[in-house]
Each structure stands twice: as structure tokens, then as C-alpha cells.
Amino acid sequence: MRKFKEFSFEFFIYLSTLITIISLFIFLIPIFKNGYKGIFPEFLFTFPKNGMTEGGIFPAIVGTFYLTILSTFFSFPVGIITAIYLAEYGKPKFLVDMIRTSISTLSGIPSIIFGLFGLSFFVVRFSLEVSLLSGSLTLAILSLPIIIRSVEESLKSVPVTFKEAAYSLGCSKFETIYKVSIPVAFPNILTSLILSIGRVAGETAPIMFTAATLYSRRLPKSLSSEVMAIPYHIYGLVTEGVSPEKQIPIAYKSAFVLLLLVLIVNLSAIIIRQKLRRQRRW
């Protein structure tokens, strides 16, 4: 009986794993099959033409790049400092509770709501218009909970024995944090940050009303420019326009590019972590 239980338990573990892997492939195969042809170099480096029925996605790649980088510019400092506060100070209790409640609320909000919030707050209230700036700020808020949580986890996993050693050598609390906790947690912090970049790059809803434009023949010139972005471009290709037979293949190619970009980002995160971890094992 016990053997049977063990067997069926293992069976379900393998089954679930298999389902996960199969779903991944069912999801990836059509995109790869329909998307890989003729990507390099024209598709990557030319502008869209004739509505959206020909040409490449160069401005969308650039736009996604700008949006992502700019959003990290806002989200990293705030996220890292909040995480340090939660992990290392954690007092007074009411403030910590307030932050934690905010984080869990934020992380439960559907991304389209972030888009609407960005529209009413940044675009309208602060008159930032539909722009690179509005979109980045919206994305930054969306990514805050992920960043705070993962950086906090990284800091909390620093063994207390290292902190004790630092104090016993004359460090103040602040010195202990920036000379020991942060350097020790650095590989994990870096990985978390890079993973959050991958996450932000793929978001569509938050930029739909705040930053993105479907069709642009120029690259964004300033923070107040509208930008094209790969995920929104895909959305536009599939839902708008008059010649789906020409647009769908372009959508596949764009999806392929987006997936590739995210995979590259995530892979680099993993590689960096492995490399740094090997140097500092404990």
C-alpha cells in the first residue's frame, strides 16, 4: 500500500513536470516555426512600411529598449532602498506593515489597471502626455513589488554570522549593510534585477495608453516622444489594420524577436549568477 502511495506520488510529480514541459513547447513551437525566417538583419534593422504590412520592427525594438531601461532607472533605486529597509531595519512595525500591504496589493493588480492608472495619473494629471516618460513610470510601479520582494529575499539570505563578524570588527549598522550584506547578496540581487527587466520588456497593457504608438517612422527623440514597443506592436498587428494575411506573419516574427530578447536577458541573469556564485561559496 505504502509502495503504491509512493509510486502514485512520484507518478504525479513526473506527470506534472511533463505537462509543464509540453505546454512550453506547444506554446513555443508555432512562434519559432512561423517567426524565425528572415529575421536577420532586415527585419531587425528596418522601419515598418505601408501601414504595418511590410518592413521591420527597428523602432519597436528601440522603443522597448528605452522603456525598459528608463523604467529600471526609477524602479531600481526605490526598490532596492525599500528592500534594504525591510530586510535590515524593519522598524517601526506600522511602517513595515504598511509597505508590505502596499506591495502585496500592487502585485495583485492586473496590469491593465496599471495602464489605466498611468493614463489618469501620469498622462493626464501630470500632463506628461502619452510618452516614453509616462510609460516608463507606469512600468516602474508595476515592477516595484517584484524587485522589492526578490532583493529583500536576497538580503535576508545573507547568513547572520557574517553580520556578527562585521559588527565585531567595528562596523556600524550602515557599514555592515553596505560592506557585507550587499556585497554578499550581490549575485542574487543582480539576478533579481535582470529578471525584472525581462518581465518589464514583455508588458503590453501598462504601456498601451501611456507610451506606445502603433506606427512610427521615427525613433523617439526625447522623454516626451511616443514610442513603438514590440509587445504593443504585436497586439496592433493582430487586432488592427486591413491586411491580416500580411500582418500575421509579421506578428509571428515580432513575437519571435521578443521571446528571444527575454530569453537572452534571463539566460544572462542565470549565467551571471552562476559565475559570481562560484567565486563566493559558503
33 counts as binding another protein under rule CB under 8 A: no
Query: 237 near 258, Cβ under 8 Å?
Result: no
- The label of the residue with cell 494629471 reads 125
What x/- string results for residues 213 through 232 when contact with another protein is judged by CB under 8 A?
A: --------------------
Cis peptide preceding 92, ω within 30 of 0: yes
Query: 147 near 79, Cβ under 8 Å?
Result: yes
90 counts as binding another protein under rule CB under 8 A: no
CB of 279 to another protein, least distance (A): 6
Task: Retrieve residue 258's grid coordinates.
Answer: 521578443
CB of 163 to another protein, least distance (A): 8
42 counts as binding another protein under rule CB under 8 A: no
92 counts as binding another protein under rule CB under 8 A: no
CB of 76 to another protein, least distance (A): 24
179 counts as binding another protein under rule CB under 8 A: yes
Interaxial angle between packed helices 182-201 and 58-84, expressed in degrees from 0 to 180 and rounded to the nearest 10:
140
Q: Nearer to another protein by C-beta: 156 or 246?
A: 156
**Which span (97-105, 162-170, 210-218, 264-272) binds another protein, by CB under 8 A?**
162-170
Q: Which of 39, 171, 219, 260 binds another protein (CB under 8 A)?
A: 171
280 counts as binding another protein under rule CB under 8 A: yes
Query: How far apart, in Å, are the Cα atoms of 267 and each of 68, 195, 215, 259?
Result: 17, 9, 31, 12
279 counts as binding another protein under rule CB under 8 A: yes
Q: Which of 180, 182, 197, 230 binds another protein (CB under 8 A)?
A: 180
Q: Nearer to another protein by C-beta: 221 or 281?
A: 281
Interaxial angle between packed helices 132-156 and 182-201, expressed in degrees from 0 to 180 and rounded to the nearest 10:
140
Number of chain residues interacting with another protein (CB under 8 A): 21
CB of 173 to another protein, least distance (A): 10
Query: How far apart, in Å, are the Cα atoms of 144 and each of 79, 188, 258, 278?
Result: 6, 17, 22, 29
**Which span (77-85, 124-132, 158-166, 244-252) binds another protein, by CB under 8 A?**
158-166
Q: Which of 13, 109, 165, 248 binds another protein (CB under 8 A)?
A: 165
CB of 248 to another protein, least distance (A): 52
At 199, the amino acid letter reads R
Interface ranges with another protein (CB under 8 A): 159, 161-162, 164-172, 175, 179-180, 183-184, 279-282
